[in-house]
A and B are shown apart, each in its own frame.
Chain A
Amino acid sequence: MAAVITVRAPFVFMRRLVSARLHRNCCSKLPAACLVLRPHSYSLVAGRQHRYFHTSYVAARPIVQFKLSDIGEGIMEVTVKEWYVKEGDKVSQFDSICEVQSDKASVTITSRYDGVIRKLYYDVDSIALVGKPLVDIETDGGQAESPQEDVVETPAVSQEEHSPQEIKGHKTQATPAVRRLAMENNIKLSEVVGTGKDGRILKEDILNFIAKQTGAILPPAPFQEIRPQPPAAAAPLTPSAKATPPSVPIPVIPKPVFTGKDHTEPIKGFQKAMVKTMSAALKIPHFGYKDEVDLSQLVRLRSELKGLTESRGVKLSYMPFFIKAASLALLHFPILNSSLDENCTSITYKAAHNIGLAMDTSQGLLVPNVKNIQMLSVFEIAVELNRLQILGASGQLGTSDLTGGTFTLSNIGSIGGTYAKPVILPPEVAIGALGKIQVLPRFNHKDEVVKAHIMNVSWSADHRIIDGATMCRFSNLWRSYLENPASMVLDLK
């Protein structure tokens, strides 16, 4: 299709279109403007001095109307459901162009040509007719048309860029072992890009080719471009190299060329929530306080009770004990269960102990809370924890579970770690992070070395209203409940 069109092309290309004669005849006489070829458009001025030129410009890139071909079963029309390309996109042969649907059949229409999409004939949800144009593709012109069967579909796995087929026509070099590997995998050596000397195909090339073909997930490996350095470059390595010719050739270290690309994506969803919460937490002046808790007696107690709770259908971990002990201690130090207003003018002491649990889910950090711990028994807390864990794992936590917390515990030790520096979740004023329980040697009151189950706790608190002494005394009380669970029984409400 010949037409006068605006051609976008690099400046160098444009310049070649200009006849040499134009330069000779015009350069000294004409104002510079006439000669300026703007990279984005090329309009010719017909004038006496430009006698040698035509005003129209024949496009060398034909636009092909790609018609929707027969789907089969006598179907004459389909609904366009989704476009995979838009005008201006580059497509290669076999790339998917759109998805159409007809009578319970979904069809992927793929491109017959390499080129650029110039026009889409239909919107989403409109009816497309078989035999009528679907898209216009501007091709390179010199392409041979592919055979009658058009709807060529890229296998879903290999949507990546084509590997350049530069080896065609050369005698491919490969060791017998590499040849066998290719044969076993039904790979034509002519299709593999060799990275060895003189384009020799190496075993890694075959493996890369397979990975590309099948879309198997490989960790991004640095692409080793082995360029043998010209002999002249080797000379400056050592000044004495010139004088004494080495008997062993100096090894050439190839420079690894990393072809990985940065990937940017907007922050949304769960990440956005965390960004918001933690940015607000920044405003709180944190101080930390860390301590060690001997859980030997608690470990014994839990193993005794585990069977009983399981018979009631509930899994018992250590968390219900930690939570209940915290609630009992909060009764003596209510300032840790409070909230500071925005202007820091008043403190609200919260009546309910709604203790939050930091939960690691597939979507990230979620902090649901158990309400009114002050009224619940250890068993009831365990039941609630089970419920929240199941909901969290299936992504079904609701707003009532995620809001209203007054104090938080984070059991990071279940994954690992000893000490931490937890961040307070506003509008709370304190948080505790529990490390993992380790079996360590300790001295008992008889100066004997005994086996002890030790866990580290790291508290953070809002230093605007909580001082170190308060945190310390709270921690000591909490610790005493856990180190001597029998004392919990005395104060249990």
Chain B
Amino acid sequence: MTNGAKPTSIFPGQRSAAQGYSSGTASIVIGLRRAPPNQRSSSLPPSPAFPFLFLFFFFWRPRPGKDVGTREAGVGQLASVGKDEKGNMLGGPLRRILPEISRLPKGYSTVGKEMTVREALNSALDEEMSADPKVFLMGEEVGEYQGAYKITKGLLEKYGPERVLDTPITEAGFTGIGVGAAYYGLHPVVEFMTFNFSMQNESRVIGTLILFSAAASVLGATVSVGCLFDEFKPAKLGKGAGSMEFDLGIVAIDHIINSAAKMNYMSAGNISVPIVFRGPNGAAAGVSSQHSQCYAAWYAHVPGLKVLSPYSSEDARGLLKAAIRDPDPVVFLENEILYGQSFPVSDEVLDSSFCLPIGKAKIEREGKDVTITAFSKMVDYALQAAEVLSKEGISAEVINLRSLRPLDRRTINASVRKTNRLVSVEEGFPQHGVGAEICTSVIEESFEYLDAPVERIAGADVPMPYAANLERLAVPQVDNIVNAVKRACYRSVPMAAAA
């Protein structure tokens, strides 16, 4: 790309990726944001050792587990820092969270195809953009960077800079612009994001990175290391610790609530807002209080919004497609840790017309003794807890809420009327949370059916701490869910009696 070349996009700030990256004798396409030439790190001078090192690293890469793609391995690795195989936080070695076969949700067709949540979201965006020219993407790093979490990978190349727009870091501004475009009749998908999160492994990876770049520069080859390292941004290129999308969403929350959610009502149907706000929500690992909050309760509180939170790849595909097709504003709460997780998908799910209904929950596991409701990452924990409980003779029914607004009260109540006990699980703060609403719904509509008080598992009512042990205590664990179920089944002493 030559300086001063006329940009090919009608939106001049969006250069076409076809103009390519700057070459140089060897460039490693590693997904880092391309730095201006004077900031690029220089490679080490060539030495005889490097070809050998290159060959060594060519055959060995840090692969923590089953390889479903280096990107996913990398994310799994990061995500499982401090957790054991079951996803419980420990100071143990790094492991990848893999869905064990026994934990796989029942009801999926038995087909060999698997898909990560990331791929599911990417394919959903791809198909909806292909089907409707009014759909466009907007957000930080969605274009040339291929997406901060690689959700939008490849879309800039396919649809061009007029439909995949990189924005400056100005949430209030670009969210307002997205809502305005929706007023006019376009279908924006707004992603909130800054950087990914894991600074903790930075030095280890930088070291490997330098060796790779040195080796490749010696050979003059372009090596795609894939996305293993695109989690990491050298300090000089980027900001510090990354941020959770929906934490940034509250910078723009005025536009989500006042400009989007309320508009159809205030205008008596004159102006509708077919927009999707999406991005990761809730806690990751070690990103502390400003980047770990779950905003499900905040958005689900507001009439005029639809709020969805997928768990599996099927959820991610079906719900995102439904959200994009929906004529109302949808807040789509993803989970960073789930992005790399793989789920089996049937042919039906892979079909481009696949769509899930908004407002319907899914019974992930049937049971008869207790109902556990959860959404997003907590569905995983609930399923693990159900497995533990089944060995102790308690049959738990796990409901994956999928939709927080509208809440599928019918499914929840029907389940509670069957099992007579309820445990709601959420990651967010307890007060005025999703569990509080579910509890009230059940009390209003199925009070006589309850055999025990409703148990509510939520994140600790504190800003998220950083220290690994405190963080583990602040987020619900499988044990907490198991214990709550036992209390609901009167297998253990009620909390009040123990006080």
Partners in one complex: no
Question: Chain A: residues with CB nearer than 8 A to chain B?
Answer: none
